[in-house]
Amino acid sequence: MASEEAEAKEQPKKSKSKAPIFIIAFLVILIAGGAAAVFVAKPAFLFGKGEKKGPAEETTQENPASKPMEVGPLMDLDAFMVNLAPGSVRKMLKISVSLELRNESTAEEAKKRMAVIRDRIILLLTTQRDENFDRKEDEIKKELLRRLNVILGEGAVKNVYFTDRIMQ
């Protein structure tokens, strides 16, 4: 028995090769990649969409998200530089505002009332603290929209855009 133990110690243990594991992993990745490519590309011969649609059919089944967003006339206002509300870490705000208007006649009316429009924007901006502005930008835009539509008539201003903003 001692000689059998000695022989067992002398012979190195046979390690199992890791090659089959790597081959299987490679095949799984290859198959998954091929399946992903087929479903992403959606070839017509697999999904039965080989025939070309006419122009009338294409427009009726168009995705609404693929249409460009319709934007009314834009009015760029001169930049505003205001002091922020007391207690703000940053004290000054420089911001550029653009208004999306309902139509061109609304743009003419806005030009006539520009002093009032600028006043309402400044009054709202000076009540904001810097941390409020960072977290509540959408709410500030909605409030500006509400205030400007009071001046120009309901629905006259469709949207408010901040095109540039610097706080110091």
Domain boundaries, the chain: 17-66, 74-167
What residues contact residue 94 under an 8 Å CB cut-off, 6+ apart? 79, 80, 81, 164, 165, 166, 167, 168
Each residue's pLDDT, cut to its tens digit, for the chain (168 residues) gives 555 555 555 555 555 677 788 888 888 887 887 777 766 666 655 555 555 554 444 444 556 666 787 888 999 999 999 999 898 888 899 999 999 999 999 999 999 999 999 999 999 999 988 887 878 899 999 999 999 999 999 999 999 999 999 998
- What predicted TM-score, i.e. pTM, was given to this entire model? 0.58
CA distance 78 to 163: 11
In degrees, to the nearest 5, what angle opens at C-alpha 12 toward C-alphas 8 and 16? 120
Q: Are 149 and 155 spatial neighbours (Cβ–Cβ below 8 Å)? A: yes
CATH class of segment(s) 74-167? alpha beta
